Chains A and B, each alone.
Chain A
Amino acid sequence: MANLKERGQMILLMGFVLAVSFVALALILNTAIYTENLASRSETAGGTEALAHRAMVEASVGELIRFANEENRTEVSGGLTDAKEYHKMESNVSQGVAELNESIQRHTTASIAFVNVSVPQPGSDTLPGVSNDFERGKEIEQTSSGGLTDSSGTINWTVVDNAKLEDGINGTRKFRMELDTSTVPSRTGTRIFEVNVTEGPGESASNFWQMDVSENGASEIVVRVKTDEMSPSETETCTRDVAALSSTVWVNVTDGTFAGRPCPALDFAEDLNEPGLTDYDVTFNNSNQVEGTYSLIANTDDVGSNAGPAPTVKNAVYSTTVEYTYVAPELRYRTEILVEPGEPE
């Protein structure tokens, strides 16, 4: 009997040790389940919402600027000084942002986060009176189809003089042209319409971006781009069949599209962001070789200085900066948003 008792104790001991092992195993597997659960959770800090709201703010303020540039100005026809006109447009944008902020706050505070958009301060209505929150610029526009010369018929002329280049962000936006396809000259001809982006007369010629539009002899219209970074014989092109186009073709230089489709070659002022380079000129060469309309906005006063009735030059808000704040329980995000409508990121 004594023997039996001892054996029983050993089996009991073994059973106990095994039981403890299995409990440990259960705990460990439980950890695994918890971890897998953690893995299936999506991002919890709210960064995605912060970015979505940011994009919405940027788009809305962009629309406010576009509206001010297109609509508000017509109400102040005649008699107003430049400063008064800028002040009026900026005040309208400013007021719009204030209303936008109010409506965002109403929709977000109760639910997910505190979102705030600072209201940009308009500049004063006397010169110089420029506000830190707004950048003033000029819009040049030719609305009725014709040669792309200046008002006195000069065919090689400076459209934009000294557009400011800051931190690699270029100073012209919403640059687009609608060209009459039947007037686009053949490439075999010596003179083709060109858009040149350079440092300007008397300055270094080692930095340039050049675009020309021509017909290649095979009933196709070609946009050809050359920059200083390419070898002399190299060019990048985009081609569209004339038969597939209507009587006009859009070349959207800022957006990089040609006839409504993306054109990778068309990357405005690409490679022009050399350190130390602070401004550039945009010139049209052989501008009588093609007919059409165009418009662009630049962040400088010196736009189309010879322009008369066609093309026309108007005051425009170039850009504005608003401060965007997003505060959620686990995220604090505060940044300035530079809004330049019509400028791709």
Chain B
Amino acid sequence: MTERGVSTVLDYAMTLAIAAILMSALIFAAGEFVGSNRERVVETELRVIGQQIASDVQTADRLVQANRDDDHMKDLTMNQSVPDTVAGSSYTVEVYVRSNDEVELRLRTTTPSTNVTVEVLNRTEIEPNTLTQGDYAITYDASETKLEVVDD
């Protein structure tokens, strides 16, 4: 009897423990899976958004460079938009100017922490700035002969 009683309690406790371990392992694995996918998606999306912005900046650059002389350019405004958030997290786009013809877009999210860099091929100078939302405008500053990428 005593043995059986011990056995039943032990059996029950062990079953519970094993079930708990199994369940938490499964839940942990599922969480990890979702988390890693989210990170991957965020990175892909940032890259796509970066390339969209870069392509718009390059279009603006072409519109400016079509002129034989900077003085001819009177006005250029291009309004564009990209999603405000990527997989639920907000992000920033930094227009980083390494040198006049080496410009990068650095896209960042904090949760999950992701960094993506996209190169811009340009001939017109670009003013450094940081974008914090999805609607943006590319304008030309005739007095400084520079392109600006700003929140709209």
Contact = CB atoms under 8 A, between A and B. Distances in A.
A51 B63 CA distance: 7
Contact of B41 (A31, A50, A54): A31
B45 interface: yes
B74 A323 contact: yes
B44 to A, nearest CB: 6
A25 B36 CA distance: 10
B78 A336 contact: no
A332 B41 CA distance: 34
Interface string B1-29: 00000000000100100011001001100
The 6 closest A-B pairs by CB, nearest first: A47-B59, A334-B75, A336-B72, A21-B30, A35-B45, A334-B74
A154 to B, nearest CB: 35
Contact of A45 (B30, B34, B48, B56): B56
B62 interface: yes
A310 interface: no
Contacts of A330: 78-80
A168 B69 CA distance: 9
B66 interface: yes
Given A14-B26, A39-B51, A330-B79, A47 B86 contact: no
A contacts with B: majority SS: helix
A47 to B, nearest CB: 4
22 contacts: A3-B12, A7-B19, A13-B23, A14-B26, A14-B27, A17-B30, A21-B30, A28-B37, A28-B87, A32-B44, A38-B48, A43-B55, A45-B78, A47-B60, A51-B63, A51-B66, A167-B69, A321-B72, A330-B78, A333-B63, A335-B76, A337-B72
Contact of A35 (B41, B67, B77): B41
Contacts of B19: 7, 10
A323 B87 CA distance: 45
Contacts of B26: 14, 18
A21 B44 CA distance: 21
B72 A332 contact: no
A75 interface: no
B36 to A, nearest CB: 10
Contacts of B44: 32, 35-36
A331 B45 contact: no
Contacts of A333: 63, 75-76
A21 B69 CA distance: 58
A25 B37 contact: yes
Interface string A1-41: 00100010010011001100110110011011011101100
A335 B52 contact: no
Nearest to A38: B48
A43 B59 contact: yes
B71 interface: yes
Contacts of B86: 31, 35
Interface string B54-96: 0110011011001111011111111110110011000000000
Contacts of B106: none
Given A43-B59, A335-B75, 14 more contacts: A7-B15, A14-B26, A17-B30, A18-B27, A18-B30, A24-B34, A28-B34, A34-B83, A35-B48, A38-B83, A332-B76, A334-B74, A334-B75, A336-B72
A277 interface: no
Contacts of A31: 41, 45, 86-87
Interface string A41-65: 0011101101100100000000000
A328 B69 CA distance: 24
Contact of A338 (B30, B72, B75): B72
A234 interface: no
Contacts of B56: 43, 45, 47
Contacts of A29: 37, 41
